[in-house]
Structure 1
Amino acid sequence: MLGRFAMPENRKDHVDYGIDISSWQGSAIDWNAVKGNNISFASVKVTEATGYVNPHATAQVDGARSVGIHVGGYHYAHPGDVAGQVAHFVAQLNARGLLGSGSLWPMLDMEHHTFTGDPNGFVAEFIREYRARSGRRELLVYANQYWFTRRLRAGEWADDGVILWCAQYNGNPGHVDYSHPRLAIHQHSQEGIVPGFTGFVDRNATVGGWRVGSFVLDGAPAPAPAPQPAPAPAPSGWVSYVIQPGDTLSGIAARTGTTVGELASRNGITNPNLIYAGNTIQVPGSDGSGGGERYQIQPGDTLSALAVRWGTTVAAIAARNGIADPNRIYAGNWLIRP
């Protein structure tokens, strides 16, 4: 599906990439790997309604901060009792230092199915209550493309202290079928692949000329990451590969011309039947001609165009990557060059 993305580490356009997470992602996250995938901001679910607190919020916030990712908190809104929800949210933001300089702007998540009628009064009141209680003006407001086009009237409440965050899983990061001068963030996938997570994660990209510094409190830099030891060099002739959902060690071995035993030995895998999407392993790589390099499919790519560019054939690319239908490839997925 178009929503599955492992975004490139070295995109040359002016886009910043981020994630939003909740208790589903737990606290066993390799934040150095996340940072290494060019993730510069993260929004962590902190509260819901008037009583719920994400039990992993503190660990998630601290982990993101430890590697220099701008991190903020979000509130999953329910209808009713705006003042109670704001009080709950602000208290939990303060408990984790998420109203301090360098944090991502807090976010109001408007998507709960029990909202009926006109939700704009709720959003406007939430903004007023949040500003009065927190002493901050800055707030992100998140909803999906349907809400922004059919239910929300951002012109009534999105002043210069509000930035919009729109979800549309269209396979085209930073490009949304909704336009507003305050739209800055696009949630382009709910099945994103990010090294450091063992499952899917929501992925986001900035829109137009917006950059992450525009929605960081006080515009201050995030804390500098702690120094990390240099990674061990890859075996000669081998390259890094990020395990994808559905991969098996036997399948990877077949694609890369090696054996399950050799992959397990090289990568310290004790149980060849147990590997995790998002983890990075070493696989046989290039002979100097470019083969074995990983490439992320970009919007507009076709296998025939890539074959011409790489001096190979569509059949060779399809065989190397286990592609059953060469006419169906998806932006954001990864290929191994033959």
Structure 2
Amino acid sequence: MGQYLAWMMMGVSAVALTACGGGRDSGPSRGRLMAPDKLNAAAFSASGLPSRFGDTAPHEWDGLVPALYSVHGIDAARYQGMIDWSTARNAGVSFAWLKATEGGDHIDPGFVANAPGARSAGVPVGAYHFYYFCRTPEEQAKWFMQNVPHVPGDLPPVLDIEWNHQSSCKRKPDPLTVRTEMARFVNILNKHYGTLPVIYTTPDFYADNDLGQMHGAEFWLRTVAAHPSERYPGEDWSFWQYTGTGVVPGVGGNVDINAFGGSPESWSRWLSARRQS
């Protein structure tokens, strides 16, 4: 972590940035909580996945498969509706991150709706922010903090940063600018919540912006057709998002499923070290 903080401080002073303008809409958007049908995980069983989960569009896994890992969880948004957390926990959901905010004026109602239920069911839960390149990191951090309370015991916040080709924002910063903006955002949240955010990203964004330079950062990596060691050679990671078309008891529709990259014992140690205090 010391290396990461040092990297952040260097990044903050490396480049002076300006914003490109406002968000996608003229005012705050809270969206609408969806109510998808619950799918039967057993009807969508897939090789390579834990037997309690399913997948509606499974990859033909071999070698280092998701089922080799013991600790699994989900990330969700309004599209999954109200989650039955007791059922999900009994099926093996050990953690959850819920989308809370995007940019500087968008709220996902799934976080407010589902986070209390996760806590009550004993599922460690946290919030993630979807980064928007036409807002400053300061604006976005402020927006996240306004809408995500500091709750002792919650998971660390997540910075979800990736290229969004459907976004109204066409700004595509150079790699140094990207890493500097990430540093500014992460530094603010670290001071507020008392724990460093986890960084979620995708193979193309990671490569385009040379995120391997972020020594000491804690990564949550998406790769739905190969193990992270194949898509992010040499990179350390804590979480692996291995499908976006998963089926989990208690969760409506499809949902992203993730594995923690360690044993149950290391998961307990991770929770003790990284939960908000």
Alpha-carbon distance between aligned partners in 1 of 2:69 and 2:48, rounded to the nearest angstrom: 18
The reply to whether residue 207 of structure 1 matches residue 261 of structure 2 is yes
- Which of 126, 130, 153 is the matching residue for 1:102? 153
Give % identity: 23
Cα-to-partner distance string for 1:280-338 (whole Å, 9 max, x where unaligned)? xxxxxxxxxxxxxxxxxxxxxxxxxxxxxxxxxxxxxxxxxxxxxxxxxxxxxxxxxxx
Q: CA RMSD in A?
A: 3.2
Offset at residue 17 of structure 1 (A): 0.2
Alignment of 1:55-70 (within 5 A): 55-70=109-124
- Which of 122, 137, 141 is the matching residue for 2:195? 137
- Which of 60, 70, 79 is the matching residue for 1:24? 79
Relative to structure 1, the CA distance from residue 3 to residue 139 in structure 2 (aligned partners, 3 Å threshold; closer, same or farther) is: farther
Tell me the secondary structure at the aligned position of residue 95 of structure 2.
Answer: strand
With a CA cutoff of 8 Å and minimum separation of 6, indicate the structure with the bigger relative contact order.
2
TM-score (norm 1): 0.55
Mean Cα displacement is larger for which, 6-15 or 59-68?
A: 6-15
Relative to structure 1, the CA distance from residue 192 to residue 53 in structure 2 (aligned partners, 3 Å threshold; closer, same or farther) is: same
Aligned length: 211
Which residue of the partner structure matches residue 232 of structure 2?
A: 178
Alpha-carbon distance between aligned partners in 2 of 1:185 and 1:154, rounded to the nearest angstrom: 16
Relative to structure 1, the CA distance from residue 93 to residue 217 in structure 2 (aligned partners, 3 Å threshold; closer, same or farther) is: farther
Alignment of 1:289-308 (within 5 A): none
Tell me the secondary structure at the aligned position of residue 197 of structure 1.
Answer: coil
Which residue of the partner structure matches residue 84 of structure 1?
A: 139
Which residues of structure 2 form unaligned runs of 5+?
A: 1-43, 54-65, 165-169
Tell me the secondary structure at the aligned position of residue 64 of structure 1.
Answer: helix
Kept after mapping to 2: 8 A contact 1:76/1:109: yes
Letter in 1 for 2:50: M
Cα-to-partner distance string for 1:209-260 (whole Å, 9 max, x where unaligned)? 6843455365569xxxxxxxxxxxxxxxxxxxxxxxxxxxxxxxxxxxxxxx
Kept after mapping to 1: 8 A contact 2:128/2:160: yes
The reply to whether residue 93 of structure 1 matches residue 151 of structure 2 is no
Kept after mapping to 1: 8 A contact 2:95/2:123: yes
Alpha-carbon distance between aligned partners in 2 of 1:93 and 1:53, rounded to the nearest angstrom: 10
Q: Which has the larger radius of gyration?
A: 1
The reply to whether residue 169 of structure 1 matches residue 224 of structure 2 is yes
Which residue of the partner structure matches residue 63 of structure 2?
A: none
Letter in 1 for 2:51: P
Which residue of the partner structure matches residue 153 of structure 1?
A: 211
Which residue of the partner structure matches residue 126 of structure 1?
A: 185
Letter in 1 for 2:147: Q
Alignment of 1:42-61 (within 5 A): 42-61=96-115
Which residues of structure 1 form unaligned runs of 5+?
A: 222-338
TM-score (norm 2): 0.66
Which residue of the partner structure matches residue 58 of structure 2?
A: none
Relative to structure 1, the CA distance from residue 92 to residue 163 in structure 2 (aligned partners, 3 Å threshold; closer, same or farther) is: same
Which residue of the partner structure matches residue 34 of structure 1?
A: 88
Letter in 2 for 1:24: Y
Tell me the secondary structure at the aligned position of residue 137 of structure 1.
Answer: coil
Structure (1/2) with the larger helix percentage: 2
Letter in 1 for 2:196: E
